[in-house]
Amino acid sequence: MVVEPELLAEPVKAFGTIAAKQSSSIGALAEGPVERIFVKVGDRVSRGQPLFRIRQADYQRRVAEAQAAVDLASARAIEAERRYERVIALAPKGFVSNAQVDAVETELAVARAQKTQAQAVFGTAQQALSDTITRAPYDGVVTARLVDEGVYLNNRFSMGGQSAALQLQELGTVAAIVNAPQEYVDAFRRNMPARVYIEGFDEPIDSIVYIINDRVDPESRMVELRLPIANPNYRISSGLGARAEINVPPVSAIILPRTAIRGDSAAAHVFIVENGKAHGREVTFESIDLDRVRILSGLAAGDELVLDPPSTLRDGETVESRQMSDAD
């Protein structure tokens, strides 16, 4: 048999894990002890839905204090405005000095600034009170509860302590994050069709190559691909094992029947024919199926090959070449 390349259209197999579109450790925007947790592990939540509440008593007191400060500053501003109006009314008649006019103008400006400052403090206090209730940032599933009620949460990592109460994952769309051999990196393209096989599911799921990581892992020599999968009913959980078969364009390859290979994959060899004699040659290969292998190195187009060498064939032994007929 004379070796001739042929087109091989085999999907590239890549292995990995199902991951959520987003996964977040949900912490508190306001510090304090957890007063109430409204959800449990496994609950599906909607964007904006309350998840847990920090004790509000201190924040409610600050709002009340800030409101009182606004009321006081407003009263002072009203008083300053009335004084200003009286002085300005007397100024044209010469009953007040320029210094008095300047004084009431300054007093009014200060009173108005103090009112604005008090209103800002009040707004901040109101926001802090609102922040005692932490809400879901997106539609998702509660996948872990990290604290119990009564635990103090802080929102400053430098202070140490617990900063997250729940783990939330967005599972409406999941991704198969898989790793493929680096030799196919130039063949991969975005939107290339693929099929994903997920552990626990009988049927494969159609997808596409959505992301190709530009970095090849220097240790494993693998390239990372991400394939999105619609998951409207949350049937697919993050963490499941996945295998993807990616349909790359056909490539020219040397394909042999498995019977042509002698030895095991660690020390495989074939017999080629040169000048009527058989000579062993080491090759490397990968399996295509039970009957065929793809030669990766060791053979070239035009080499004459012993197709099914007998176990008794030895290096240098004379062989007779014959043409294969259609019956063969």
Determine whether 81 is exposed, middle or buried from the number of CB atoms within 10 Å of its CB (0-12, 13-18, 19+).
middle
Query: What is the per-residue pLDDT across 87-96, written as a single tens digit (0 to 9) for each?
Result: 999 888 888 8
Instruction: Please name each of the domains of the chain with its CATH number.
Output: 8-19+170-246 (2.40.30.170), 24-52+133-169 (2.40.50.100), 58-130 (1.10.287), 251-328 (2.40.420.20)
pTM: 0.69
Q: What pLDDT does 91 receive?
A: 85
- What is the distance between the alpha carbons of residues 313 and 30, in angstroms, rounded to a whole number? 81
CB atoms within 10 A of CB 323: 7
pLDDT along the chain (328 residues), means of 10: 84 95 93 96 96 96 97 96 92 87 94 97 97 96 95 71 87 96 90 96 95 93 96 93 93 89 84 89 88 90 88 86 55
Nearest to 306 by CA among 274, 263, 260: 260
Query: What is the per-residue pLDDT across 208-256, written as a single tens digit (0 to 9) for each?
Result: 999 999 999 999 999 999 999 999 989 999 999 999 999 988 888 899 9
Residues in CB range of 122: below 8 A, 6 or more apart: 63, 66, 67, 69, 70
Nearest to 285 by CA among 305, 258, 309, 304: 258
Token output for 131: 């922040």
